[in-house]
Structure 1
Amino acid sequence: MTSTFNPGRSKLSQWDALSLESLRRYGWKDEELIRRVQEGDLPKDASKFQFDYAGLKNLAHEQSDIIAAALGQGYQVKYSTLRGIQSWLLLALDREAEVHAVPGREAVTVLLTAAEAERLASVLSYGWSVELQDRALRNGAQDAEECGSYVVAPIERGPVIE
């Protein structure tokens, strides 16, 4: 599977997407989350990310439909980075991912279900692919939901012309 360009989806900055996913972890319904963002009624973030949600609040005031559309119909990140993908996987899917930052071989590897891989592919910015590397079972249990090792990497663009 490769990431696809989704022209009809809301576009969020990577930081706004991470902020939104951190708020989703509170379990609020979409309407409640939208109201809280618009009113600035947001918790103090004690995570390693230290979100202050100011950017999300500003976005909600400047373009109120963006947050509602992102929650209702999904969103695509404008520009994804290796560390941003790793952070999104942790916040949105509660998955620990490994970043490989070797120049020319940059990638993120992570254990995901097929549905999680589809969701990830749908939010990545243009230019990224999500490929199944190996199939595995979660925790080795026979009744566990089937997972696979996925590689998230930039799509190869060919040689750079100098």
Structure 2
Amino acid sequence: METNNLVKLSQWDALLLEGLRALGWSDEVVLRRVKEADLPSDESMYHFDYQELAAFAAAEPETFERAVKEGYAIKYNTVRGIRSWIAVAYGKEPELVLEEGNESVLVVLTPSEKERLAAVLSFGWAIREEQAGTLYRIEPIQR
């Protein structure tokens, strides 16, 4: 997936979009229901307010449609945001490492999950294989 041509979403808008996809909604259903502001209330730990996504979609309809249909990259990731994105998008509970200077996220991913995550991550993050083909560490690129 060519990441240079993907639209950029805020980490929060990406989480909101993935929250709707986690309901099993197709791209067409997401686009229609967000446009109509026909959105569920969220009872998850995130307490997503999907009306925020509807407001974004109304303000930037082309950007939102491209993000849904073609994919997106996140403008700026945080380590906690990456953990949350993986939890919402993949239904997995990654390990959050908050040791100062070694902040990272550890998670088991399939090859397709890893590829999609790599396309979504903002500049400055790397995915490193910890165990052959299964366990990955997502961490800031050290300068």
| Pairwise TM-score range, normalised by the shorter structure | over 0.9
CA contact (8 A) 1:5 1:126 kept: no
Aligned residue for 1:153? Answer: 139
Residues in 1 aligned to 2:28 and 2:69: alpha-carbon distance in whole angstroms: 10
Q: Within 5 A, what are the aligned runs for 1:5-154? A: 6-135=3-132, 148-154=134-140
- List per-residue Cα deviations over 1:84-134 (Å, max 9, x = no partner): 111111111111101111111111100111111111111010000011110
Displacement over 6 Å in runs of 4+: none
Instruction: Work out whether residues 40 and 57 of structure 1, in 8 Å CA contact, stay in contact via their aligned partners in 2.
Output: yes
Gaps of 5+ in 2: none
The amino acid across from 2:137 in the alignment is V
> Matched residue pairs, number?
143
Q: Is the 8 A contact 1:5 1:125 kept in 2?
A: no
Whether contact under 8 Å (2:34, 2:53) holds in the other structure is yes
Q: What TM-score results when the alignment is normalised by the length of structure 1?
A: 0.84
Q: Deviations over 1:132-157 (max 9, x none)?
A: 1103xxxxxxxxxxx51100000011
Contact kept, 8 Å, 2:8 with 2:73, in 1: the verdict is: yes
Given that 2:40 and 2:50 are in contact with CA atoms closer than 8 Å, whether structure 1 keeps it comes out as no
Task: From the two aligned structures, give the one with the greater helix fraction.
Answer: 2
Which one-letter code corresponds to 1:64 in the other structure? P
TM-score, reference length from structure 2: 0.94
Structure number, greater radius of gyration:
1
**Distance in 2, Cα, partners of 1:35 & 1:5:** 26
Q: Following TM superposition, by how much is the alpha carbon of 1:10 offset from its aligned partner in structure 2, in angstroms?
A: 1.0
| 1:25-56: CA deviation from partner (whole Å, max 9, x where unpaired) | 12222122111111110001010100011321
Structure 1 unmatched runs, 5+: 136-146, 158-162
Report Cα offsets for 1:50-88 as digits up to 9, x if no partner.
001132111111110112111111100111011111111
Letter in 2 for 1:86: R
